């Protein structure tokens, strides 16, 4: 029976590939990849020789019919993105939805994704959270911040280093400079860094130390002072 298997790949540290992911990549009939060059490097590191076919966001809609036919004609089709879990701020969702419509079995292996370590290590509540991924860059960005102002759950954002300072300024403006924030940078890599503090303090840090690399921003709610009565 035809199957689509989503395989998470490391977000930095190559040791984070799972044994199961390696086996599934070895057994795949077809590997679809967001960027074939990135995936070929990983496969070569794992000493796996397979044909890799491009599957990226700008052709996700157009290529669906062709990809579905290929999946139906195979047993094990794998989808990988450049890093982390396919479908999480990466191509994958449309293909999964189409496969379900076509009665194609779906498996998603557990594995690397940036927001889980960023959230858990932030020290902010991770029992309930809102994953917003990348905010719109222009139109709709302010509206998103206004919507987040009353959010009680911890908020998770993906952000580029060029927009981090702007993002922190907007957090101060729309959510308040006292909001607890944790910026995780370069997770699992040599220069992994967590900067925790009030939004205004974290903003000041990055105004003075312009960031590089990949970034997750975690925003907590204002904790009420405990007065011991409840």
- Applying CB under 6 A, the residues found at the interface with ligand SAM are 11-12, 81, 83-85, 88-90, 113-115, 158-160, 184, 186-189, 214-216
Shortest Cβ 204–ligand SAM spacing (Å)? 21
Which lies closer to ligand SAM via its Cβ, residue 74 or residue 121?
121
Q: CB of residue 150 vs ligand SAM: minimum separation in angstroms?
A: 24
Tokens in use for 49?
């020789």
Whole-number minimum distance, CB 93 to ligand SAM, in Å? Answer: 11
Q: How far is the CB of 14 from ligand SAM (least distance, A)?
A: 12
Which residue is at the shortest CB distance from ligand SAM? Answer: 84
* H/E run at residue 207: helix 199-208
Nearer to ligand SAM, 3 or 163 (CB): 163
Q: Considering the complex, what minimum distance in angstroms separates the CB of residue 112 from ligand SAM?
A: 7
Nearer to ligand SAM, 36 or 74 (CB): 36
Using the minimum distance from each CB to ligand SAM, give the nearer residue, 127 or 191.
191
* DSSP code per residue over 29-73: SEEEESSHHHHHHHHHHTT----EEE--GGGHHHHHHHHHHHHHT
Nearer Cβ to ligand SAM (85/170): 85
CA–CA distance, 53 with 130 (Å, rounded to integer): 33
Cβ-based nearer residue to ligand SAM, 133 or 176: 133
Question: What does the block give as tokens for 80?
Answer: 């990988």
Q: List all residues 6 or more positions away from 147 whose beta carbon is below 8 Å from its beta carbon.
A: none
Q: Would you give the DSSP letter of residue 84?
A: B
Helix (H, G, I), strand (E, B) or coil at 116: helix
Cβ-contact 31, 54 below 8 angstroms: no
Q: Dihedrals φ, ψ of 178, to 5°?
A: -90, -5
Instruction: State in angstroms the smallest separation of the CB of 208 from ligand SAM.
Output: 20
């Amino acid at each position: 029976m035809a199957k689509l298997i989503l395989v998470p790949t490391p977000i930095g540290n190559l040791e984070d590939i799972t044994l199961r992911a390696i086996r599934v990549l070895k057994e795949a009939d077809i590997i679809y990849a967001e960027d074939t060059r990135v995936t070929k490097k990983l496969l070569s590191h794992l000493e796996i020789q397979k044909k890799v076919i491009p599957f990226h966001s700008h052709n996700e809609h157009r290529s669906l019919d062709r990809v579905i036919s290929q999946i139906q004609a195979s047993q094990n089709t794998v989808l990988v993105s450049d890093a982390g879990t396919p479908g999480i701020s990466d191509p994958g969702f449309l293909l999964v939805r189409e496969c379900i419509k076509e009665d194609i079995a779906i498996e998603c292996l557990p594995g690397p994704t940036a927001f889980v370590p960023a959230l858990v290590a932030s020290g902010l509540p991770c029992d309930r959270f809102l994953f917003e991924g990348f905010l719109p860059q222009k139109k709709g960005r302010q509206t998103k911040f206004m919507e987040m102002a009353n959010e009680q759950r911890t908020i998770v954002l993906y952000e580029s280093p060029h927009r981090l300072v702007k993002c922190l300024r907007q957090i101060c403006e729309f959510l308040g400079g006292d909001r607890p924030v944790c910026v995780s940078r370069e997770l699992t890599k040599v220069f992994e860094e967590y900067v925790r503090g009030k939004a205004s303090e974290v903003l000041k840090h990055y105004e003075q130390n312009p960031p590089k690399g990949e970034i997750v921003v975690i925003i907590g709610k204002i904790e009420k002072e405990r007065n011991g009565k409840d």
